[in-house]
């Protein structure tokens, strides 16, 4: 059995904590040289060949220059040991063969062998580093949370603090503890360039790449595989027979309620990802770490919140890190933090600077010596205990030969103020960069342009230099502590030691050089990933469209930037990341405006505007100014280009803007244009929707017979199978919508027996088409009909059903409407207090969406409830509000009922409260409302009722 601790000279190599110490003080040594030292000591006195080193440290199948990598590791090891290659005390080179460890070794503390863990794609992806100084309290809290999570009580922790304070380091150390305890660790990063769901895509990709057999992967992903492929498209290359994910409308669709369709797809994606996480956590308790939340896109934050709200009973721990300076906290992050912290779902750990004793510990571990109190005080005062700054300042002073005297001990009289030390970490790093060779600085400039993480393959392609020279540059950068090797087999990859180091590199570049480097990186990505890979696990150009959009935008290639921004927006939308897609399309439109005015440019802009519209509806609502401007511009472009195929959708959506705002005259005018355009095109698909649109505006203005005619003609065109896709394009199934409106027109015109038949047909069709929006529409319209008939039991059942579906699908406006109907049902059953409260709740929910349409009608329910509760003053107030809105919007179909309610409220409070002119208007309205229709056209109430239905009033409180 191999020992746990090896002692040689004044060094100790400890297998148990995986570190090298000198005189009891840990030395900072990267993983590869440390792995090499373990191997040499295990075979002390024996020749260890270069082939053995390759097999042990990297495995088979690596593509980079292994000889240079081994040489670099040996140099780093000798530097740490202070070993002279010409007169070695520890590591002897055997030319052309390998190396031998020759020093005497004492074996201490026997323990089972512990092989250093390689960081592979299936691992958490974290770096091995020297032990952390301080943070004992925070680590104790995290370990307590880990115990709770492992026992099935999910936990959420958020680590915050300034740059360099040690957030990532604490997360690294905690991840190592979690892995040692047998938990799975999933790691994801956020970056400045917003990529939707990036940290979760990263976790999923590592999980997938860790499973070699496709069939095993299929079993692991189970029913969620199709939906997870929206996050990780290469899943479809690995499992080509996956069924399609949830259908989404094309981005150029004219979805009347695109928000509901997109949000429905997004919720389905979130639920599937949660189910996947829950299932894998049940098999092995899991820690999920999301780094740098201050750069997270809104979609990633939304998914994080979705998971956090649901893990209370899972063996799962969520850990996030973020900068908490006000300038770094985005609006989306602020909302997420508020939800998680105020709801006591998450525990926040705010990191501050290390105290003096922990700074002393850091200095001892960095130097291998005990630092005098005076030195500790000077460095503490300069850095305020920021760990990254402490380390960078130490390196700077060491490289300037300012730390030690001739005997190799600290200068006890060290005064930092006298040394003109740079005032910021960035300047400290910049000083170190100046000491590097010019080829290494050029290499770092390209690497920093690629990002915090970069692969050797891409770096080599972008630099255009040979691999040997590039490895020498990387080795020099590693010695300077600017980059670390991740060494993920079979491809080498690296990362900057800190984002501040990367930013220091970028700050030295001129704008012209940055632009050139971005173009070189973009062109290298296209060269590498345009080739079809042999392995389905390999990356393709589709995996890099967001990177290409970023690099070409920064590189000044406008045509390519627009091309990839459009593709990246499409990808984001397919992942239900609407806000990211909007940002990319907005950037594409901004760049497009700088191009010369041509027909081609206008065609491109029309495509982008039509993609943008549904996304804006999803995030801002139909009535927003941005949606109106988008479709006004789209209509203008379609007319200029004579793009007939785009004229109808842009006109349709523009009409929807005014419809939802309650601007019925403008909406009706555009509906007439739609119908005319559809007839001129001789397009039955458009003619169907044109009839529906025109019928709807007729109905809302109270022109019920004209509306009925349009809806009947639309039903004559409608074919359930052929027009099924219309529900995803226009928001509702046209057959369901027409039947819903026909039911209301028949009800209002007094044809009650026919309305009963149509209501039954409406509910049957809504079940068949299986479209959530259409189902909720049918349920609330059927509920309104039964309320009209004063049949509260079916009305109550339908309203509750509608509320359940709307809540499940997050259909905010329709949920508000269903809540109003539920309240109206309660009021009609005599539970007026609860009914009024629920109606007001529903009205507030509808108002929050910005919808004005139908508000006067919904307020009539509240007025009726107040009348039943004998709260007459409140009833009169809300009726006046509704009548004022009718005069603004011309939503006249409900006007007579509102005057009826006002008349009844006024009668019970004293008729003298109404001006004479309004009394006359009420009488005229009531005479029209109560006039008995001709016997040929009027149907009687159901058998249980013995009088005629009033034509338009929906007389919930009237007399028979």
* Alpha-carbon dihedral 790, 939, 781, 720, rounded to 10 degrees: 150
Asked whether residue 917 carries a pLDDT value surpassing 50, the answer given is no
* Contact residues for 645 (Cβ-Cβ < 8 A; gap 6+): none
Q: pLDDT tens digits, residue range 200-212?
A: 999 998 898 888 7
Cis bond leading into 490, ω under 30°?
yes
Domain 432-556 has CATH 1.10.10.10: yes
% residues pLDDT > 70 (the chain): 85
pLDDT-derived band of residue 594, with 50, 70 and 90 as boundaries? Answer: very high
pLDDT-derived band of residue 383, with 50, 70 and 90 as boundaries? Answer: confident
- State the average pLDDT over residues 313-332: 87
Vertex 463 angle, CA 457 and 464, to 5°? 90
Asked whether residue 456 carries a pLDDT value surpassing 50, the answer given is yes
User: Residue 247's pLDDT is what?
Assistant: 52
User: Residue 534's pLDDT is what?
Assistant: 64
- State the average pLDDT over residues 38-58: 85
Most confident of 66-75, 500-509, 535-544: 500-509
User: Residue 936's pLDDT is what?
Assistant: 31
DSSP secondary structure code for residue 533 in this structure: P
User: Residue 922's pLDDT is what?
Assistant: 54
The Cα 213–Cα 95 span in angstroms is 42
Select the CATH number that applies to the domain covering 136-250+270-350 from these four: 3.40.50.620, 3.30.950.10, 3.30.365.10, 3.40.50.300.
3.40.50.300
State the average pLDDT for the chain. Answer: 82
Asked whether residue 121 carries a pLDDT value surpassing 50, the answer given is no
The Cα 527–Cα 755 span in angstroms is 65
Question: Is there a contact between 824 and 869 (Cβ–Cβ < 8 Å)?
Answer: no
User: Residue 930's pLDDT is what?
Assistant: 44
Q: How many other C-beta atoms lie within 10 A of the C-beta of residue 149?
A: 26
Question: Is there a contact between 778 and 765 (Cβ–Cβ < 8 Å)?
Answer: yes
User: Residue 261's pLDDT is what?
Assistant: 56
Looking at per-residue confidence, does 904 or 839 come out higher? 839
- State the average pLDDT over residues 919-928: 50
pLDDT-derived band of residue 586, with 50, 70 and 90 as boundaries? Answer: very high
Q: How many other C-beta atoms lie within 10 A of the C-beta of residue 216?
A: 10
Most confident of 205-214, 551-560, 809-818, 943-952: 551-560
**CA-based nearest residue to 132, from 174, 185, 102:** 174
User: Residue 351's pLDDT is what?
Assistant: 92
User: Residue 144's pLDDT is what?
Assistant: 93
pLDDT-derived band of residue 124, with 50, 70 and 90 as boundaries? Answer: very low
Question: Is there a contact between 158 and 349 (Cβ–Cβ < 8 Å)?
Answer: yes
Q: Which long-range contacts (CB under 8 A, 24 or more apart) does 77-80 make?
A: 77/29, 77/33, 77/36, 77/37, 79/479, 80/20, 80/27, 80/29, 80/33
**CA-based nearest residue to 161, from 185, 140, 136, 135:** 135
pLDDT-derived band of residue 106, with 50, 70 and 90 as boundaries? Answer: confident
User: Residue 536's pLDDT is what?
Assistant: 66
Asked whether residue 113 carries a pLDDT value surpassing 80, the answer given is no
Q: What is each CA distance from 412 to 371, 397, 405, 583, in whole angstroms?
A: 9, 14, 9, 56
- State the average pLDDT over residues 723-750: 86
User: Residue 929's pLDDT is what?
Assistant: 47
The Cα 271–Cα 307 span in angstroms is 9
Give the E-state strand segments of 421-505 in sequence order. 453-455, 483-485, 493-496
Looking at per-residue confidence, does 828 or 809 come out higher? 828
As a CATH number, domain 3-110 is 1.10.10.10
* CB-side neighbour CA atoms (13 Å) of 281: 27
Q: Where are the domains of the chain?
A: 3-110, 136-250+270-350, 356-421, 432-556
User: Residue 107's pLDDT is what?
Assistant: 57
Most confident of 8-12, 370-374, 697-701, 826-830: 826-830
User: Residue 90's pLDDT is what?
Assistant: 92
The Cα 755–Cα 337 span in angstroms is 51
- State the average pLDDT over residues 85-99: 86
User: Residue 123's pLDDT is what?
Assistant: 40
């Amino acid at each position: 059995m191999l020992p746990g601790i090896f002692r040689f000279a004044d060094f100790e190599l400890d297998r148990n904590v995986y570190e090298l110490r000198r005189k009891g003080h840990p030395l900072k040594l990267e993983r590869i040289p440390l792995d090499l030292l373990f191997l040499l000591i295990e075979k002390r006195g024996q020749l260890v060949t270069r082939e053995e080193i390759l097999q042990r440290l990297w495995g088979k199948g690596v593509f980079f220059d292994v000889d240079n990598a081994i040489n670099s590791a040996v140099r780093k090891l000798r530097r740490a040991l202070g070993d002279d290659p010409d007169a070695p005390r520890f590591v002897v080179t055997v030319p052309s063969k390998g190396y031998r460890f020759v020093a005497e070794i004492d074996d201490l503390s026997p323990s089972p062998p512990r092989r250093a863990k390689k960081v592979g794609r299936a691992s958490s992806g974290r770096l091995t580093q020297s032990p952390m100084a301080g943070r004992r309290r925070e680590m104790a809290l995290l370990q307590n949370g880990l115990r709770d999570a492992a026992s099935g009580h999910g936990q959420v922790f958020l680590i915050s603090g300034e740059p360099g304070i040690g957030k990532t380091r604490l997360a690294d150390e905690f991840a190592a503890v979690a892995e040692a305890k047998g938990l799975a660790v999933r790691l994801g990063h956020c970056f400045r360039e917003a990529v939707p769901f990036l940290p979760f895509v990263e976790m999923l990709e590592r999980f997938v790449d860790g499973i070699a057999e496709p069939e095993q992967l299929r079993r692991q992903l189970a029913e969620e595989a199709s939906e997870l492929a929206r996050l990780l498209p290469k899943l479809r290359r690995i499992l080509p027979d996956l069924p399609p994910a949830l259908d989404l409308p094309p981005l150029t669709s004219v979805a009347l309620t695109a928000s509901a369709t997109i949000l429905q797809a997004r919720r389905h994606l979130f639920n599937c990802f949660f189910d996947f996480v829950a299932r894998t956590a049940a098999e092995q308790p899991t820690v999920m770490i999301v780094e740098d939340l201050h750069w997270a896109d809104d979609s990633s934050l939304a998914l994080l919140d979705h998971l956090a709200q649901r893990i209370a009973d899972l063996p799962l721990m969520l850990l996030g890190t973020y900068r908490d300076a006000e300038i770094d906290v985005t609006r989306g992050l602020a909302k997420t933090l508020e939800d998680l912290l105020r709801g006591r779902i998450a525990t926040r750990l705010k990191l501050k600077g290390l105290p003096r004793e922990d700074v002393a510990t850091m200095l001892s571990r960095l130097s291998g010596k005990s630092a005098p109190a005076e030195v500790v005080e000077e460095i503490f005062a300069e850095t305020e205990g920021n760990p990254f700054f402490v380390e960078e300042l130490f390196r700077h002073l060491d490289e300037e030969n300012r730390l030690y005297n001739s005997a190799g001990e600290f200068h006890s009289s060290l005064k930092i103020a006298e040394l003109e030390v740079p005032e910021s970490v960035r300047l400290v790093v910049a000083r170190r960069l100046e000491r590097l060779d010019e080829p290494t600085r050029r290499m770092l400039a390209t690497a920093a342009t690629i990002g915090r993480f970069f692969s050797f393959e891409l770096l080599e392609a972008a630099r255009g230099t040979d691999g040997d020279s590039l490895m020498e540059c990387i080795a020099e950068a590693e010695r300077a502590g600017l980059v670390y090797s991740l060494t993920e087999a079979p491809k080498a990859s690296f990362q900057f030691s800190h984002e501040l180091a990367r930013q220091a590199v970028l700050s030295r570049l001129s704008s012209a050089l940055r632009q050139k480097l971005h173009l070189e990186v973009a062109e290298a990505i296209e060269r590498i990933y345009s080739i079809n890979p042999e392995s389905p696990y390999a990356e393709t150009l589709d995996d890099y469209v967001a990177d290409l959009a970023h690099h070409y935008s920064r590189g000044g290639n406008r045509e390519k930037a627009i091309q990839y921004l459009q593709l990246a927006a499409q990808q984001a939308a397919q992942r239900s990341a609407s806000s990211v897609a909007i940002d990319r399309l907005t950037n594409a439109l901004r760049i497009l405006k700088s191009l010369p005015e041509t027909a081609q440019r206008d065609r491109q802009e029309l495509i982008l505007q039509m993609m943008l519209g549904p996304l804006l509806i999803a995030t801002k609502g139909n009535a927003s100014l941005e949606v109106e401007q988008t479709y006004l511009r789209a209509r203008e472009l379609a007319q200029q280009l004579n793009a007939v195929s785009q004229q109808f959708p842009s006109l349709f959506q523009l009409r929807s803007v005014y419809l939802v705002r309650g601007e019925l005259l403008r909406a009706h005018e555009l509906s007439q244009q739609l119908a005319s355009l559809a007839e001129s095109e001789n397009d039955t698909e458009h003619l169907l929707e044109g009839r529906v649109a025109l019928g709807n505006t007729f109905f809302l203005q109270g022109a019920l017979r004209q509306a009925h005619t349009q809806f009947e003609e639309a039903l004559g065109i409608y074919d359930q199978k052929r027009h099924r896709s219309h529900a995803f394009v226009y928001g509702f199934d046209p057959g369901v919508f027409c039947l819903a409106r026909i039911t209301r027109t028949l009800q209002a015109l007094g044809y009650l027996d026919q309305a009963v038949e149509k209501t039954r047909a409406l509910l049957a069709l809504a079940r068949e088409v299986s479209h959530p929006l259409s189902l909720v529409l049918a349920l609330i319209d059927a509920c309104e009909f039964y309320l009209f008939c004063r049949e509260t039991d079916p009305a109550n059942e339908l309203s509750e059903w509608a509320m359940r579906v709307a809540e499940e699908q997050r259909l905010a406006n329709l949920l508000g409407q269903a809540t109003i109907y539920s309240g109206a049902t309660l009021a009609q059953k005599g539970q007026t207090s609860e009914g009024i409260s629920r109606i007001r709740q529903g009205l507030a929910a509808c108002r929050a969406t910005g919808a004005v349409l139908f508000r006067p009608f919904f307020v009539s329910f509240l007025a009726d409830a107040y009348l039943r509760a004998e709260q007459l003053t409140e009833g009169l107030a809300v009726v006046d509000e509704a009548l004022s809105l009718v005069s603004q919007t011309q939503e006249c179909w409900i006007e007579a009922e509102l005057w009826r309610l006002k008349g009844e409220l006024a009668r019970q409070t004293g008729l003298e409260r109404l001006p004479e002119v309004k009394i006359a208007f009420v009488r005229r309205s009531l005479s029209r409302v109560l006039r008995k229709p001709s016997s040929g056209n009027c149907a009687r109430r159901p058998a249980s009722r013995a009088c005629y239905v009033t034509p338009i009033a929906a007389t919930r409180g009237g007399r028979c």
